[in-house]
Structure 1
Amino acid sequence: MSGNAFWQQLETGTVGESVSLDEALAQIPWNADGLIPAIAQQYDTGEVLMLAWMNREALEETLDRERVCYWSRSRQQLWRKGESSGQVQVLKEMRLDCDGDTLLLLVDQTGPACHTGRRGCFYNLVQGDRLVVDKPVLIDPESLYGK
């Protein structure tokens, strides 16, 4: 069954129906770089923290260890969230969207999720004809990363 047909079949699924995780991972439509976008959301408040990318290795490590691991496109290596800053993400739940092409990670975020020291990366608010910073820096990035 093609990837598209696999996800279409799940569209008509009823509550409680399931497929093997291995089968689902094999049907993910990874992009040309072998990546899928992953949105991290605080599990108990619903706050959207960040968007990053995962390859299959990062996804599997995240599921195995229940600590979020991403793929760093800039460094071309696995990026274990919090390995240098201490601001980890503990996985509470992982979901795939209806097309299987985006992950939603419900996490318990320790401190800031953003490299700027803010809680989340979405701190630039569009207000009319202005882009307004609306979230404070919680921790100086230099103290987080030793820059």
Structure 2
Amino acid sequence: MIKHDPDAGTFVKLGGFGLTTEHIDDDQSHTQCSGVDEYLAPEVRQGRRYDTKCDMYSLGVTVQHMFNFDANTLFQTEQELDTNYEKIKKLTLRLLNNVRNGRPSAQDLIIRHNEWSIPYASVRAHILAVIEPNASYDIDRQFVQYF
């Protein structure tokens, strides 16, 4: 879900998309598949244990969709991206690692925040470069919104 919140000065909010389940402890698992196949980690599709590393894979799919990375070319190094999006691409590749232990944990992502975060001003500059700043946009129907 993408929605502008002028009071908070933010423009992106994510929800569970009906694909989530609650885990109280990190080592808690469930074996029943819930959600959409595309978001399921390879080990879940193979009937193995579901844990927080599987959630990291699902996050990788979400990031892939948000940044419109083509799954067929994401792993090819020739794909040219600017420095900021290269950070997101590297993060996405780590999240989509087919080997469970090769994926970062949520704690790893927070600790290494500086390696993948993109400054707000940079994101804003990229959006303003591709829109007509003086045009009006229907925020309920179009992705691009005023900041």
Q: TM-score, normalised by structure 1?
A: 0.26
Q: Which structure features the higher share of helix residues?
A: 2
Q: Which structure features the higher share of strand residues?
A: 1
Q: TM-score, normalised by structure 2?
A: 0.26
